[in-house]
Homo-oligomer: A and B are copies of this chain.
């Protein structure tokens, strides 16, 4: 990479890329210009650090690129917004192989396309390890954002997407099981590249109205988030922001595939399902008297009070990922 130099590298990264229609001015000037037809834009940012959020011996460069975009796109969609564009600031050592950068950027572009946007610009710097900082944008098309604060007592809690698969894949890698074992193929893939079910949210909001109780129109969630810290932790954010309690029924969360893997690892799949982040499934609260849209699975109910319970019992443990938790690094969660 150092032979190429910064400007040639940027040219290589951007070469042959076709911008989404909303990117009015792409890379090459002091800044990019992105359409915001709604007159507002949704924005979120996430930073991934090598050996903390990903390991290159566990994930390929393309996987890491897809993951970096997916976790940001999921945050945009969790507001009820349609992803439009991304910018990426990227740090790497000077001796980084070009194939690694190519893989990363190809993965980023593939996931940006899948989410409905493109990469409008970025920055490339030298750093001691890989650092990927993605900022993602979305458009609400005139709708109100779906925050974490709208859950109402009596609402149905429902989820779409996988729970605990990424955590199961991480557990397989951490415990040193053979990653070539066919049994683990799907959870390892899920760990390497989350597949947030964007369309399960976007199809709902696209035809909706702001009035959640208008029975002429499809129901939309009263509150919504993506699961990045773990189901219980992220439901905790909704409960706290909305001033409600939430109870989950464990029987709705059983996953035979994960149970089989858990038995092999001599552990319990419930922990993965309840506290595993990174699958970027979506969880929302819905008007109780309305049908759930296709793909959404009811898992519990919004109650008066505060906090999260499973089958009426408060769950032990912190139940999610915190960046600075633990008293020393050995007690921390593994890089993910």
Q: A residues engaging B (CB < 8 A)?
A: 1-2, 4-7, 9, 24-25, 28-49, 52-53, 75-76, 78-79, 81, 85, 87-91, 94, 120-129, 131, 133, 135-138, 140, 145, 147-149, 224-226, 241, 322-327, 329
Contacts and interface: CB of A to CB of B under 8 A. Distances in A.
21 contacts: A1-B324, A2-B326, A24-B40, A29-B79, A30-B226, A31-B78, A31-B145, A32-B42, A32-B44, A43-B121, A43-B137, A44-B87, A47-B125, A47-B127, A52-B125, A52-B127, A87-B135, A89-B133, A123-B133, A124-B323, A131-B131
Oligomeric state, in copies: 2
Contacts of A127: 47, 49, 52, 131
Nearest to A76: B31
A94 B331 CA distance: 13
B138 A135 contact: no
A149 B26 CA distance: 13
A53 B329 contact: no
A56 B149 CA distance: 40
Given A47-B133, A126-B49, A36 B32 contact: no
A79 B324 contact: no
B41 A36 contact: yes
A90 B31 contact: no
Nearest to A329: B94
A150 to B, nearest CB: 11
A45 B119 CA distance: 12
A248 to B, nearest CB: 20
A65 B306 CA distance: 37
Given A5-B324, A91-B47, A127-B52, A36 B39 contact: yes
Contacts of A327: 2
Nearest to A133: B133
A30 B78 contact: yes
A36 B89 CA distance: 23
